[in-house]
A = this chain, B = another copy of it.
């Protein structure tokens, strides 16, 4: 596409860029949708669930590996997952997009299409209801998601009780394997990311890449877990052991995992799975989509045990400790 046919956003008015985005976002389901100072979203039970999460070029994605649509999809999916992890149903997204002024309009259009596709596929009825455009040297997508509990109590991290079954919905380790494939096989000699060659990946590897670049968290299982009586619920985003540690500490219990049920590394420590970690009273039949991976014990010497042993390593991703901008 020529530059004339695909102009840089820096050559366009904000209104033109906004119009291109809004045409691709689908119908608003809000009481007041995009275009005013703020949107008005229904909160039918008098409460709103809200969370925010950001994707930054470099630490969180590389344009050689992620298409614009992939980025929009992932920015939506990771936020929708946090809403589901409270037992709630997503109702609206708000997107703050900061981008270099040489960003092509087609990129912005693809991003909007990805946001919409993720909402349509993962959280029907949820749409982008507002946002903000800013110029930045670093492409940054900050999304805030809202949700409704529809009268249910929120399911917190702090409710796990000794005797509960520990259960998981979604994949473990796929997203980390996808990232390892990207870093291991799709960089040039200087370490710079290069596009994925579809002919060079097996179907299972393609699924790993999909989990990393375009995740599909089991969102509908959040409200289902809440209805089934889950005592604790959280999104697994930073690796199972690290997130289970957070749940154990919030609940003042020990989470005892069965290694065979969890599977081999990177299932224990790989990040970005966006599965749902839940605890259920032992008498509850696990909702379809959840599988048992352990049990809750009284607080012991370690917050998390794997086959009775404290796991080695640090078990997860910490953005400040682990990101090395020189390595990328």
User: Copies per complex?
Assistant: 2
Would you call A167 an interface residue if the criterion is a C-beta within 8 Å of the partner chain's C-beta atoms?
no
Would you call A289 an interface residue if the criterion is a C-beta within 8 Å of the partner chain's C-beta atoms?
no
Q: Is the CB of A58 within 8 A of B136?
A: yes
A44→B42 CA distance, assembly (Å): 11
In residues 64-100 of chain A, which contact B (Cβ within 8 Å)? 82-83, 85-86, 88, 92, 94-96, 98
Question: Per a CB cutoff under 8 Å, which of B85, B95, B96, B135 touches A323?
Answer: B135
Q: Is the CB of B44 within 8 A of A46?
A: yes
Would you call A53 an interface residue if the criterion is a C-beta within 8 Å of the partner chain's C-beta atoms?
yes
Decide: A40 near B51, CB < 8 A? Known: A98-B140, A156-B32, A318-B14. Answer: no
Q: Is the CB of B235 within 8 A of A37?
A: yes
Question: Per a CB cutoff under 8 Å, which of B52, B58, B133, B318 touches A13?
Answer: B318
Q: Is the CB of A52 within 8 A of B98?
A: no
A290→B45 CA distance, assembly (Å): 35
Q: Is the CB of B14 within 8 A of A321?
A: yes
Question: Per a CB cutoff under 8 Å, which of B14, B54, B132 touches A134?
Answer: B54
Decide: A38 near B82, CB < 8 A? Known: A59-B135, A319-B14. Answer: yes
Decide: A38 near B83, CB < 8 A? Known: A46-B43, A58-B136, A98-B56. Answer: yes
Residues of B within 8 A of A95 (CB): 52
Would you call A154 an interface residue if the criterion is a C-beta within 8 Å of the partner chain's C-beta atoms?
yes
Would you call A19 an interface residue if the criterion is a C-beta within 8 Å of the partner chain's C-beta atoms?
no
A145→B154 CA distance, assembly (Å): 21
Residues of B within 8 A of A43 (CB): 43, 46-48
Q: Which residue of B lies closest to A43 (CB)?
A: B43
Question: Per a CB cutoff under 8 Å, which of B10, B82, B130, B142 touches A96?
Answer: B142
Residues of B within 8 A of A137 (CB): 58, 137-138, 325
Would you call A157 an interface residue if the criterion is a C-beta within 8 Å of the partner chain's C-beta atoms?
yes
Residues of B within 8 A of A51 (CB): 37-39, 94, 130
Would you call A229 an interface residue if the criterion is a C-beta within 8 Å of the partner chain's C-beta atoms?
no
Would you call A292 an interface residue if the criterion is a C-beta within 8 Å of the partner chain's C-beta atoms?
no
Would you call A288 an interface residue if the criterion is a C-beta within 8 Å of the partner chain's C-beta atoms?
no
Nearest first, the 10 A-B pairs at minimum CB distance are A43-B43, A38-B51, A142-B142, A138-B138, A37-B85, A144-B144, A96-B142, A52-B94, A48-B48, A37-B82
Would you call A120 an interface residue if the criterion is a C-beta within 8 Å of the partner chain's C-beta atoms?
no
Decide: A40 near B319, CB < 8 A? Known: A52-B132, A94-B51, A132-B52. Answer: no
A138→B141 CA distance, assembly (Å): 13
Show 29 residue pairs from A and B whose CB-CB distance is below 8 angstroms, ordered by the A residue. A9-B320, A10-B323, A13-B318, A14-B318, A31-B47, A31-B154, A32-B154, A36-B157, A38-B83, A38-B88, A38-B145, A38-B147, A43-B46, A45-B46, A48-B48, A50-B92, A51-B130, A52-B95, A53-B96, A54-B142, A56-B136, A59-B135, A60-B134, A96-B144, A98-B142, A132-B142, A134-B319, A136-B140, A138-B138
